[in-house]
Amino acid sequence: MKAIEIIKYMESLYNEEQRQGLMLFFKTGKGEYGEGDEFLGLKVPQTREIVKQCKDCPLSEVPELLMSRWHEVRLCGLLLMVSQFEQLAKKRLENDDEAIRKRDEILQLYLQYSDRANNWDLVDLSAPKILGAWLLLPTLLGDGTDSYKLQVLDGLAKSQSLWRQRISMVCTLKTSQQGDASWCLRYAEIHLHHPHDLMHKAVGWMLREMGKRVSMDLLRDFLRLHAHEMPRTTLRYAIEKMPDPERKKWLCRQ
């Protein structure tokens, strides 16, 4: 299926009532983080169903989806990349040269159009499953080492784009799920003093997940160093799953 066909079909599902609700929820008003974003009024399960129907859409068609004015069409493009990346990341294909080449191609496309993942849901539904997964897999890009992968993430983290910065943080959900805390801890420290509330939430969320998936002791070590200087929102998110007495102890450090 071609991008133009996907877009026309999605436009046919336009729902004004849901559109209005989504525009409020994703803060599209003047001066808000999603200012100017436009919605068709589709729910995420609807978009996921469309992705299932056109999962074999050529990667060359995806940029047209990512450049769409419609939020849901951009999500469709991102989820198509997620779907194709996951197929190429199956255990039997992890070290297959052709699969590695195709995964790298998806990753490069994702980075090229990362500015089109321009709201928190677009980032959160794509970054861990593309970039985060790529960090854990062989690559033919650069020198193929973690040093090169750090360069990629550092570039995102140091950009002037809120959404690229969020990508660099949220992608670590995948690495933490696989038992590697180093990526989360590095970018949590880099973004610790970020001015935007969406990053405060992202950092706290990733720290919480790292503690849950890897080590609560590592989370506590990080908090001992930084709890006194963390944004209140970040700290609250990070300690959310701790027992109430311990949560109160950390909150009293601020």
Segment-wise mean pLDDT, segments of 10 residues, the chain, 254 residues: 95 96 94 94 97 93 98 98 98 97 98 97 98 98 93 97 98 98 98 97 98 97 96 97 95 85
State the pLDDT at residue 238.
Answer: 98
State the pLDDT at residue 193.
Answer: 97
Buried b (16+ CB within 10 A) or exposed e, 7-27: beebeeeeeeebbeebbeebe
pTM: 0.95
